Structure 1
Amino acid sequence: MADVSQSGNRVELKGFFPGELEGFVTSLGLEPYRARQIAAWIYNRGSIDFAEMTDLAKGVRTKLARRASILSLKVAARSGADDGETVKYLFELPDGRRVESVLMRDGRRRTLCVSSQVGCPLDCTFCATGRMGLLRNLSAGEILDQLIYVRRELRARGDDLTNVVMMGMGEPLLNYGNVVRAIRLMNLDYGLAIGIRRITLSTVGYVPGILRLAREGLKVGLAVSLNAADDALRSRIMSINRRWPIHELLEAVRAYRQRIDRRVTFEYVLLHGLNDSMEDARRLAALVRGIPCKVNVIPWNPVEDVAFVRPPREAVDRFVDVLRNAHLTTTVRYSRGVDIAAGCGQLYIRPDAAATASVV
């Protein structure tokens, strides 16, 4: 069953699979086909009010309103970056906690970076979100509603969402059940009908979750936050490496590759003077050799009260040249929205977040 809230006898519907929703409507004495009608309103049209569902008889709508609810996150604030292409949303959850999502426009692509947890239990030293600790997991419905809200907003302007990246707040594989449920509903025609090849899940390297993805055959894109090519350094900046060192992580990645025929992305945050030398690049190239992959190099984005340094452009170029000369497909992500703390590793909820955000 979906991880959904219930208030009294009202059941939350956002996050139900088709069979679950059919079971619910038939328990009310309604025809099974009503489930697909309701799902179309919830996912395709973004409806949050049964009264809007005009292809349902008034008596059906009344019965649903008495027995069910449709989750709707509140937008506490939205911030527009100076680049004009990036928008950060501050969503308020039903219990008052908040998460951030980031919309990035790039040509015809409209990518939403989605959160899966309030905060994060992992303490990667270069990332702001981990400083919050883990407050709670998001439900599947709360994950989905980030997309539903932004897509509805885009469609009102004659635009649409094209891609989803599970790279926001939290470690997705530590909220496995709700994240996978949400991804399946993103992909289903019954749900948001987003192609599975347009959905990417990013992990810091939670090995049991990667292996479970492989066993279950979910063909989502996998991005692994690697950030170092030796265990000593990776353990220093990412505590998860002390539990699952690099060789175990790469074994899990290879298992995923054997089961899922998709190229893996290795993300590598460049920290000047720490992991951005040409020798670091050579070690990285040797480490991932033989794995069908691409490397996404990310110059570190500043985080308040964190003492790392963003590498200069020439250091980034030298690092990338080594990888490309080793015949690795390599991209550089100069994160958008850094000026509004919307870049990779910058998401963090401050008490005054709503008050300081600008409306766009």
Structure 2
Amino acid sequence: MPQINTDLIMLDSMSKEQLREYFSQIGFEKFRADQIFDWMHNKRVLDFEQMTNLSKKLREKLTAECGFTPFEVIKNQRSMQDDSMKLLFRLADGNMIEAVTLRDFDRATGCISTQVGCRMGCVFCSTAKMGFVRNLTVGEILLQVRTMDNMLRAEGRRLTNLVFMGMGEPLDNLENLLPSITVLLDDNGYGFSYRRITVSTSGLTDKLPKLFELEKPVNLAVSINAATQAQREKIMPISRKYPLDELVRVVKSLPVSKHKMIMIEYVLLKGINDSEADAKAFAKLIKGMHVKVNLIAYNSSKDGQYRSSGEKETLKFQNYLIQERIGTFIRKSLGSDIDGACGQLYAKTAREKGDDNG
């Protein structure tokens, strides 16, 4: 990667409002900010000289003072099973992240990362083994979407959906997540429908309501994975700070439209949380909530400490919840042969040595 001037102002990490304020400060009309916004996010042009409706004077000033989030795609893996695609990005500081395009019939879903590593410590997640390094900037979040969509467009396709289920806890980086979503929803940005964006969280109850302050709240998926506080603490240490009963209370209180349901995610671990007793306790826990359930197969990590529940246990768990009139689905595992499925993302940090195999 070429040497980066860290003193430059990264325009693609600024919201439309921040851009307008910046242009006002440097003595240019605010509508120029909207033009730049359109070039960056709608037209995907990151070269000031190609922004033909800007004056020469403005282009020269922007070239001297501003830039765009630097990154490098250093690996692109394709699944032989389902044609999903995993990208390994090297960021300007040497840290690396992974993002995945999951392909399922006509749908192409971008699985987006929000942090380098993660501090939640979930035992079934490879990203947790990285520890927490830092939050991604708005520009670094958006570049994943831009890169994947550009690659798909070159093949005559496009991203249809986005899920913030990659590396990191999205609500732990709320200050950059929300501006990113705003750009993704903007018709002059990426133009995604709020119905096609989902944010997954391990349940940071003090930040959950902030998602619903968006003008058009996106979909929410809450990763619960256990029926009792004691059980959840063992596999999701964050539950000590955000207790399960408080999480359920907050989810119940969210201002969800009657036409919209919250997704509850449940990773099935063999012999840990997949028994009939677990199903009964889980059904009792979420009874009366306006939710549907996604049962997720555990995708093995390198240490092999846990195992995935078998088909028999999974179907039995699902059938019990359905009998209790809880809409329950089994999520198809995509990209597992390239370690791109749920819980498998891992990338080297700047402090680690070795190759770039992710």
CA distance in 2, matches of 1:171, 1:218: 21
- Pick from 173, 184, 187: which aligns with 1:186? 184
Which residue does the alignment assign to 1:286? 284
Q: Displacement of 1:140 after TM fit?
A: 1.0
CA distance in 2, matches of 1:149, 1:344: 21
Matches within 5 A, 1:219-238: 219-238=217-236
Query: Which range moves more in the overlay, 251-260 or 144-153?
Result: 251-260
CA distance in 2, matches of 1:274, 1:343: 20
- Structure 2: runs of 5+ lacking an equivalent: none
Matches within 5 A, 1:145-224: 145-214=143-212, 219-224=217-222
Query: Which range moves more in the overlay, 149-158 or 213-222?
Result: 213-222
> May I ask how many residue pairs the two structures share in their alignment?
352
Name the aligned partner's letter for residue 43 of structure 1.
H
- Pick from 36, 40, 62: which aligns with 2:38? 40
Q: Kindly provide the CA deviation profile for residues 202-239 of structure 1, in whole angstroms up to 9, marking residues without a partner as x.
A: 11111111133345666121111111111111111111
TM-score w.r.t. length of structure 2: 0.92
Name the aligned partner's letter for residue 170 of structure 1.
G
Which residue does the alignment assign to 1:97? 95
Residues 39 and 190, structure 1, Cα contact 8 Å, conserved in 2: yes
Which residue does the alignment assign to 1:7? 6
- Structure 1: runs of 5+ lacking an equivalent: none
Name the aligned partner's letter for residue 67 of structure 2.
S
Q: Tell me the percent identity.
A: 37
Which secondary structure does the structure 2 equivalent of 1:135 belong to? Answer: strand
Name the aligned partner's letter for residue 49 of structure 1.
D
The RMSD of aligned alpha carbons is 2.1
CA distance in 1, matches of 2:353, 2:82: 23
Q: Displacement of 1:30 after TM fit?
A: 2.7
Which residue does the alignment assign to 1:22? 20
- Pick from 134, 140, 145: which aligns with 1:142? 140
Change (3 A) 1:172 1:279: same
Residues 252 and 290, structure 2, Cα contact 8 Å, conserved in 1: no
Residues 219 and 262, structure 1, Cα contact 8 Å, conserved in 2: no
- Pick from 312, 334, 337: which aligns with 2:335? 337
- Pick from 325, 330, 344: which aligns with 1:327? 325
Q: Kindly provide the CA deviation profile for residues 102-142 of structure 1, in whole angstroms up to 9, marking residues without a partner as x.
A: 10111221110000000001111111111110000001111
CA distance in 1, matches of 2:150, 2:215: 30
CA distance in 2, matches of 1:342, 1:353: 20
Q: Displacement of 1:289 after TM fit?
A: 1.1
CA distance in 2, matches of 1:19, 1:75: 30
Change (3 A) 1:265 1:188: same
Residues 229 and 243, structure 2, Cα contact 8 Å, conserved in 1: yes
CA distance in 2, matches of 1:321, 1:161: 33
Query: Which range moves more in the overlay, 187-196 or 20-29?
Result: 20-29
Change (3 A) 1:75 1:136: same
Residues 123 and 238, structure 1, Cα contact 8 Å, conserved in 2: yes
Q: Kindly provide the CA deviation profile for residues 296-344 of structure 1, in whole angstroms up to 9, marking residues without a partner as x.
A: 0001100111411111111111111111111111111132111111010
Query: Which range moves more in the overlay, 231-240 or 150-159?
Result: 150-159
Q: Displacement of 1:166 after TM fit?
A: 0.6
Q: Kindly provide the CA deviation profile for residues 31-77 of structure 1, in whole angstroms up to 9, marking residues without a partner as x.
A: 32222221111101222211221232333322211121111421111
Query: Which range moves more in the overlay, 215-224 or 134-143?
Result: 215-224
Change (3 A) 1:128 1:49: same
- Pick from 73, 78, 88: which aligns with 1:75? 73
Name the aligned partner's letter for residue 274 of structure 1.
I
Residues 88 and 96, structure 2, Cα contact 8 Å, conserved in 1: yes
CA distance in 1, matches of 2:213, 2:38: 31
Name the aligned partner's letter for residue 78 of structure 2.
G
Which secondary structure does the structure 2 equivalent of 1:89 belong to? Answer: strand
Q: Displacement of 1:247 after TM fit?
A: 0.9
CA distance in 1, matches of 2:5, 2:323: 56
Name the aligned partner's letter for residue 232 of structure 1.
A
CA distance in 1, matches of 2:235, 2:177: 26
TM-score w.r.t. length of structure 1: 0.92
CA distance in 2, matches of 1:110, 1:58: 39
Residues 104 and 111, structure 1, Cα contact 8 Å, conserved in 2: yes
Which secondary structure does the structure 1 equivalent of 2:232 belong to? Answer: helix
